[in-house]
A and B are shown apart, each in its own frame.
Chain A
Amino acid sequence: MEKWLDCTISPGQFTGEFAVQGEMFDSTEFSLFAPKEDLKFSGEPSWDKPVKGSIRVTVGEQKDNLLLVSLPRPAFENGRVITVKKEQIK
């Protein structure tokens, strides 16, 4: 099931790619580079003004208020699959 996870977006290294920062269920941060087609945001992010947006995820297992989701690219810190709270997902 495809959903969108809240995140913060700033410029990436290559054209069409952005640096994405988000939080897991326990507020631990993760970061990754993701292509534009896997992101939703308005405006043009810059170094000084990152923008709020969301990143496409695929939802897997659910337990109580927690969800296992798969990111479109691996996060530097945790790999591709992370745990988030239900309310972080749209």
Chain B
Amino acid sequence: MLLSNLEIHKALDEGRLVIDPEPQPRFREIGVKYCPYDSHTVDLKLGDEIKIPKLESATIDFTAPGKIANLIARNSDRHTLEENRPYTLKPGKFLLAQTLEKITLPIVSGSMNLAARIEGKSSRARCGLLVHFTAPTVHPGWSGPLTLEIINLGEAKLNLHFGMPIAQLIIEQVAGEIF
């Protein structure tokens, strides 16, 4: 079952879901230009760190145990986004980033636990921006920012700004106990 925006608020209030910093405001009011909550989603923002993979000369062998994390980490350039200084993502290019928010989904024994899925935003997708393409699942027990696999599939260059709403989170209830 997907949580509605009001159920997301309730989960935040009860500590079954932690989003830090918590997206604000919770409600659309007169004069409020932006509210991160839609009917059953909450927007997440782009954090300030970007990793640009430099793996042109590398071959990743998924059956070679123990080496993948080190190989990926070693072969990427770090870029820090600053206010008013966006990173321009060229067509066809791929990078990694993280959400500004840290997401925590505590596992509580005997309780209905929560999981989540991160999804793109249609307004961005129409311009060719993918923010994840294969790993949307946030498991119960997760705590940390979410890593975004960003690729520009469009024809235009896309400016990525620190703090821009970039993805949306869908919260789900997990039925039954977790082993």
State in angstroms the CA–CA spacing of A56 and B143 once bound together.
Answer: 14
Cβ–Cβ contact B73 & A29, under 8 A: no
Chain A residues, Cβ within 8 Å of B144: 35
B65 within 8 A of A: yes
B68 within 8 A of A: yes
State in angstroms the CA–CA spacing of A11 and B69 once bound together.
Answer: 10
Cβ–Cβ contact B98 & A28, under 8 A: no
CB distance from A19 to the nearest CB of B (A): 4
Query: Can you report 17 A-B residue pairs in the complex whose CB atoms are below 8 A from each other?
Result: A10-B70, A11-B73, A11-B74, A12-B69, A13-B96, A14-B49, A14-B51, A14-B147, A19-B70, A19-B72, A22-B66, A29-B66, A29-B67, A31-B68, A31-B70, A35-B144, A77-B66
A29 contact from B65, B143, B179, Cβ within 8 A: B65
Q: Is the interface of B mostly helix, strand, loop or mixed?
A: mixed
Chain A residues, Cβ within 8 Å of B51: 13-14
Cβ–Cβ contact B69 & A32, under 8 A: yes
Q: Which residue of the partner chain B has the closest CB to A47?
A: B74
B-contact bits for A14-53, CB 8 A (1 contact / 0 none): 1100011111000011111101000000000001000000
CB distance from A71 to the nearest CB of B (A): 11
CB distance from B160 to the nearest CB of A (A): 15
B76 within 8 A of A: yes
Cβ–Cβ contact B70 & A21, under 8 A: yes
CB distance from B69 to the nearest CB of A (A): 4
A-contact bits for B56-90, CB 8 A (1 contact / 0 none): 00000010011111101110101000000000000
Cβ–Cβ contact A20 & B65, under 8 A: no
Chain A residues, Cβ within 8 Å of B65: 28-31, 77
State in angstroms the CA–CA spacing of A31 and B147 once bound together.
Answer: 17
Chain B residues, Cβ within 8 Å of A80: 139
State in angstroms the CA–CA spacing of A51 and B179 once bound together.
Answer: 32
Cβ–Cβ contact B66 & A33, under 8 A: no
